[in-house]
Amino acid sequence: MSLTTQFIAELIRAANEADRLTPFEVKRLLNRSIATIRDMREAIGIPGSNRAKDVVIDLQVAAARADRLTAAEIRDTLIDAADVIRTLKILLDGKE
């Protein structure tokens, strides 16, 4: 299993236990997600966008608000991050 696949699984597991996560753990997972998404986009050749609504911005906002997110918001945000990373992995695997 690749590191990316392991991280996707970690995000899903964390989403399923959102009510047990500390704000520090949420912030750490979201920051790792942001870095992973940026790295994968760069590897694929997808340019960063300053104009369009971007999931990375949403993840940054969520990470900054980690101590004020509800369990449902944490779950939804972690699932969104996992979904984007999974999609980028499929694109990256198809590029090889």
Q: Where are the domains of the chain?
A: 3-95
Q: Does 4 or 95 have the greater pLDDT score?
A: 4
Span 5-14, mean pLDDT? 97
What are 30-46's pLDDT values in tens digits? Answer: 999 999 999 999 998 88
Supply the pLDDT for residue 54: 83
pTM for this structure? 0.90
What are 48-95's pLDDT values in tens digits? Answer: 665 556 889 999 999 999 999 999 999 999 999 999 999 999 999 987
Q: Which residues of 16-52 are buried (b: 16+ CB within 10 A; e: fewer)?
A: eebeebeeeebbebbebbbebbeebbeeeeeeeeeee
